[in-house]
Amino acid sequence: MDRIAYWAAVLVATALAGGCVTTRTEKTVAASAATGFIDKTMTVGGKQLAYNVYVPRGYDASKKWPLIVFLHGRGERGSDGLLQTDVGIGHAIRKDPERFPCIVAMPQCPGDGGWLERHDVIDETIARSLAEFNIDKKRIYLTGLSMGGYGTWSYGAAHPETFAALIPICGGGQTTDAPALAKVPIRVFHGGADSVVNPSASRAMVEAVKKAGGDIEYTEYPGVNHNSWDNAYGDPEVIKWLFNKTK
């Protein structure tokens, strides 16, 4: 009877252990399958920064997915990791998520600087996204508005080999970056009545990239002030154009 009791105890313990393993596995799968706007943190320069990633409802880790990196404007700087999700591309996603079958990484720039000084934050955001999701490296895109438009021109010029296309909105850049930017297809948007960033900032970049032989298209919205991003991100054809670009 003692031996029978012993083996019975072993079988019970094994069954319980197996149940624990199954539970942990289920939790891991559930975490990896989480969709929607997901709050995340990363460490950059020894400091913990909050950021956000949008994962489409149909995300399947066995397939490769496009990645859009979105750079917000000056008004969304901070440390909550949320402000940048409600202006620009995040707003467009909430209105019509079916148009965005992709991962969208949305870093948040700290309040003491801008994207031109914080390429390191963008670096880490892209690295984290590549590590955590099954990203198609031939379909990585960069876009941003206002301060993020400047960041798109700047970071895109510094890393043209990374991106299949760029969409800078109501920003500007250095015309000396035109030869590097000419290596990437670009669509540019600006409001014709922009009182914050004069549309001449976009026009100058477009002309410089054209002279460098780049594939670039410019849209200026007549009568639209600084908020030209709702027009751009709300246009289904713009997002289709983006997804059709591959390296």
162-213 residue pLDDT tens: 999 999 999 999 999 999 999 999 999 999 999 999 999 999 999 999 999 9
SS3 137: strand
Residue whose C-alpha is closest to residue 91's, from 243, 229, 223: 229
The dihedral sign for the CA sequence 205, 83, 97, 54:
positive
| Cα 200 from Cα 48, distance rounded (Å) | 37
Do 26 and 39 fall into the same domain? no
Q: Beta-strand (E) ranges in 84-134?
A: 103-107
Say if residue 27 is in the same domain as residue 37. no
Tokens coding 202: 């976009």
54 with 164, same domain: the answer is yes
* Containing structural domain, residue 1: 1-32
Residues 24 and 115 in one domain: no
Helix (H) or strand (E) holding 71: strand 65-71
The answer on 206 and 157 residing in a single domain is: yes
Q: 134 and 101 in contact (C-beta within 8 Å)?
A: no
Does 143 share its domain with 216? yes
Helices 119-132 & 147-158 angle (0-180, nearest 10) = 70
Give the CATH number for residue 204.
3.40.50.1820
Q: Give yes or no: residues 2 and 108 share one domain.
A: no
How far apart, in Å, are the Cα atoms of 246 and each of 132, 137, 162, 203? Answer: 21, 9, 11, 25
172 and 239 inside one domain:
yes
> What is the chain's Cα-based Rg?
22
114 and 73 in one domain?
yes
CA dihedral sign, ordered 191, 192, 196, 201? positive
Question: Do both 49 and 167 map to the same domain?
Answer: yes
- Residue for token digits 């402000």? 83
Number of H helices, E strands in the chain: 8, 8
Output the pLDDT for position 33: 59
Q: What is the pTM of this model?
A: 0.86
Q: How many domains are there within the chain? A: 2
The enclosing H or E element of 67 equals: strand 65-71
pLDDT value for 23: 31
Supply the pLDDT for residue 179: 98
Residues of the chain with pLDDT under 70: 1-33
Same-domain status, 68 and 190: yes
Tokens coding 199: 């549309």
Residue 97 identity: P
User: Do residues 17 and 74 both lie within one domain?
Assistant: no
Q: Give pLDDT, residue 22.
A: 30
Q: What is the pLDDT of residue 112?
A: 87
Distance CA 142, CA 173 (A): 15
Can you give the pLDDT at residue 133? 97
pLDDT at 16: 37
